[in-house]
Chain A
Amino acid sequence: DIQMTQSPSSLSASVGDRVTITCRASQDIRNYLAWFQQKPGKAPKSLIYAASSLQSGVPSKFNGSGSGTDFTLTISSLQPEDFATYYCQQYNSYPFTFGPGTKVDIK
């Protein structure tokens, strides 16, 4: 199985900050990488697929990049509604696997 790691596991940031989350796969997953946002008690929401493609309706302040084994999610100008847990997920091969999550909270 492909192992996914994320760093940091948590971070504190202020409204208006730019935040970057890193995701690493244990083997080459090409660009089959998705990012999700999850708020407490809610289902995950898809933000990005194919490493850098924005899902319909997702604001452009979310930016994904990378390929192969190293990926990043950048949120520019953090807003109150962006405080959540973010997960990366590979869908290059089965079983699909998720990163452990990065919790973004208010400083």
Chain B
Amino acid sequence: QVQLVQSGAEMKKPGASVSVSCKASGYTFTGYYIHWVRQAPGQGLEWMGWLNPDKGDTNYAQKFQGRVTMTRDTPISTAYMELSSLNCDDTAVYYCARGRSLDYWGQGTLVTVSS
């Protein structure tokens, strides 16, 4: 069965960077884009961008341009999302999701940014 398993919760100080991983199983990793979506506490869903695991190309939401980097390690079917220059507004649960219709989601990774 399709599964996306994300790394554990992170606590960071303002100005730091965070990397969240998303390990895929149950399907061909290179066959579907991986999208990243975040959700601040009590708020709605915000799309951050996508990664093409096959070629490694990416497309980031303008809001995150210059601060986000999405990469992959194809042999271990894992995608990564790194967000730099963190501030308190980046406190959120970060999700990875599969394909354009976001049909499967990871369990989420809470990133807390606090001094």
B53 within 8 A of A: no
Beta-carbon contact of A34 and B102 below 8 Å: yes
Across chains A and B, the number of contacting residue pairs, with CB separation under 8 Å, is 48
How many chain B residues sit at the interface, stated as a range, is: 20 to 34
A83 within 8 A of B: no
Beta-carbon contact of A49 and B47 below 8 Å: no
State the A residues within 8 Å of B (CB): 34, 36, 43-46, 49-50, 55, 87, 89, 91, 94-101
Return 22 A-B CB contacts under 8 Å, by A number.
Answer: A34-B101, A36-B102, A44-B37, A44-B45, A44-B95, A46-B102, A46-B104, A46-B105, A49-B101, A49-B103, A55-B103, A87-B45, A89-B45, A91-B102, A94-B59, A95-B47, A95-B62, A97-B47, A98-B44, A98-B46, A98-B47, A100-B44
